[in-house]
A and B are shown apart, each in its own frame.
Chain A
Amino acid sequence: MTALLEVRDIVKHYDGIAAVSGATLDVEKGSITGLIGPNGAGKTTLFNIVSGFQRPEQGLVSFGGARIDHQSADRVARAGLVRTFQETKALTKMTVLDNMMLAAPHPGERLTSLVLRPRRVRQREREVEAKAREMLGVVQLEDHADQYAGTLSGGQRKLLEFGRALMVEPKMVLLDEPMAGVNPTLGLELLDLVRKLRDSRGTTFLLIEHNLEVVMGVCELIHVMNEGAVIASGPPAAVRSNPQVIDAYLGTRGASVAPISGEAAP
């Protein structure tokens, strides 16, 4: 059986440097999978390519059996693959409730429906509002529903963006550093949510995260990227003790440089 998301041999350059050079990985349906690696490994670039914000030069991405590698971001989202962003993109000039309601598919977003089917639109608006409030309860922002999103703290905005992504009722969510800039308690609550949602709705999650302790705790499978390629894939314990992974994070000594004290390098 094929995986829900298949990434094969993706290549992407910036200014002559290969940001991603032959990345390959799978994400199984209903899993919580991690994507880790040192800075500059190409993780966010890969996310951008998978979610349609950038085009790969080579390679393919397939989602649910269909190729999505050259589709635009909005098309990929409509296919059921949504993402969050490293710097949160909460819509600060709109209310928290509006942020949530925006995400749900809605005939009222088409002018033709507004004119020809006003009753259906009103009905759907009520449904969406109820769902939005429910989701706000899940992410513990229900008391802030009518506030402008700009008044929320960084961690609250992360929760909002997360809840908003789920309003789309996606098959899979790419989470880009969900814990960054968030205090640990809130971060762990977010991860509890991820688990709950996967258990109740079968939503698949792929997360980039630098806080490896967290990743090890919540992900069943972890892919490790370094210098643009996936160098290891496996369960947390295996990845953590993999010498290639350790080298990727801590670097290698380098044979040619003598230490200051004048001793010969090993």
Chain B
Amino acid sequence: MSLDFWSLVGAVSGIYAIFALGLQLQFGYTGLPNFGHVASMAVGAYTMAILVVREEVPLWGASLIAIAAGVAFGALLSLPTLRLRAEYFAIATIAISEIVRYVALNEQSLTGGPIGTSNLLGPTQVAEYNGEWASFQASVQAWLNDVVGQQVGSDFTMLVIVWVVVLVCLLVLTPMTHSPWGRVLRAIREDEEATAALGKRVGWYKLQSLAIGSGFGAIAGLLYAFEFQFFSPDDFDPLITFYAWLIVLIAGAARMWAVPIGALIFGLIFSGTRFFDFKPFTYLDAAQLSYVRLMIIGAFLIALMAWRPQGLLGNRDAMVLE
């Protein structure tokens, strides 16, 4: 199909890459099975939209605050869940992410309710938060036109922007995880007791991991919001978290650079049938097709776990999933 189509697939893959990077920090590195990661995406997107539309905060300021909100959400998430063992932690995080989604759904005055962000200023006035972003994107597009020498589409521009952000995220996360700080996380992942016996404050590290990972989730939420120009609570249902898990499993535990590759593979599988299947596009598809896609994904996951549980790109000796 066209460059625009693949650009869209690539851009959305990049957004999911950033989203999955956050989960990789939480689960792949620290061993925290966060099944409510989509909530951080929602927190990021909604915080920005509400601030821009209602409080008329400039986009960049609102975005920074949105990322901070994601970090704070992650920190808060850790408080009730820190002492829970794996399965119970997972259940608690699903519950919390559903609470976030239900608040977004029901607090119409805060979030615009089920209709989504277009309703942020009430039913009579269509709300838009994307104005500043659109002009930023246009200037990037103009710059790209010069660089490439011909007209590029807005989809391609978005693709470039998203993957630059992916690169920046990797450049931040990689040294962090290779540092002594990252070493403590990996130790916690394997054996909390042994790590505590060496004098490390295990709870504090878990909190940091959840908070920072949720910050990346919020960044993914921001880019999602900019890409699709409006969103609603349904865009943040638990299935999205499942996609991030798929990407993390494909990539293998504790490998940051493998996550974007995993995201691209994931994107390719999804678009392999030549229909978009990322969440916002399901309006366009027959319900059956999305089920077929899930079946394919499910079969792929089973095969992966059976033959290569360390992920396509992982290292068997460092494998976490047993």
Contacts and interface: CB of A to CB of B under 8 A. Distances in A.
Whether the complex brings A and B within 8 Å at their CB atoms is answered yes
Interface in B180-202: 180-181, 183-184, 186-187, 189-191, 193-202
Interface stretch (A10-18, A90-98, A228-236): A90-98
B208 interface: yes
Interface string A64-100: 0000000011110110001101000101111000100
B228 to A, nearest CB: 33
Chain B interface helix/strand/loop/mixed: helix
A51 interface: yes
B199 A94 contact: no
Residue of B180, B186, B193, B319 with most chain A CB atoms under a 10 A cut-off:
B180
B86 interface: no
Contact of B196 (A77, A110, A114): A77
B179 interface: yes
A74 B186 contact: no
Given A102-B187, A150-B317, A164-B198, A73 B181 contact: no
B176 interface: yes
A53 B194 CA distance: 11
Nearest to A84: B197
A9 interface: no
B296 interface: no
Contact of B193 (A53, A109, A150): A53
A93 B317 contact: yes
A103 B318 CA distance: 19
A51 B194 contact: no
Nearest to B186: A94
B80 to A, nearest CB: 19
Contacts of A72: 196
A91 to B, nearest CB: 5
Nearest to B199: A77
A94 B198 contact: no
B27 to A, nearest CB: 14
Contacts of A93: 186, 189-190, 317-320
Nearest to B202: A74
Contacts of B202: 74
Given A94-B187, A101-B180, A89 B193 contact: yes
Given A91-B190, A148-B317, A51 B176 contact: no
Nearest to A92: B190
A26 interface: no
Given A74-B201, A78-B199, A150-B317, A108 B179 contact: yes
Contacts of B196: 72-74, 77
Contact of B200 (A51, A74, A89, A148): A74
Contact of A114 (B176, B189, B194, B320): B176
Contacts of B318: 93-94, 148
Nearest to A80: B199
A106 interface: yes
Interface in A133-155: 148, 150-151
A30 to B, nearest CB: 22
Contacts, number: 89
Contacts of B190: 91-94
A126 B176 CA distance: 17
A168 interface: yes
Interface in B89-134: none
B203 to A, nearest CB: 9
A78 B200 CA distance: 8
Contacts of A114: 175-176, 179, 181
Contacts of A94: 183, 186-187, 190, 318
Contacts of B180: 101-102, 106, 108-109, 121, 125
A94 B254 CA distance: 11
Interface in B196-219: 196-202, 208
A51 B175 CA distance: 34
A255 interface: no
A14 to B, nearest CB: 18
Interface in A113-128: 114, 121, 125
A151 B317 CA distance: 9
A111 interface: yes
A105 B199 contact: yes
A168 B197 CA distance: 10
A85 B194 contact: yes
27 contacts: A53-B193, A72-B196, A73-B197, A74-B200, A74-B201, A77-B198, A82-B197, A85-B193, A85-B197, A89-B191, A89-B193, A89-B194, A91-B190, A93-B190, A93-B318, A94-B183, A101-B183, A102-B183, A102-B198, A105-B199, A108-B180, A109-B181, A109-B184, A121-B179, A148-B318, A150-B317, A165-B198
Interface of A: 51, 53, 72-75, 77-78, 82-83, 85, 89, 91-94, 98, 101-103, 105-106, 108-111, 114, 121, 125, 148, 150-151, 164-165, 168
- Rank and list the top 7 A-B pairs by shortest CB-CB distance, nearest first: A108-B180, A77-B199, A89-B194, A78-B199, A148-B317, A74-B196, A73-B196
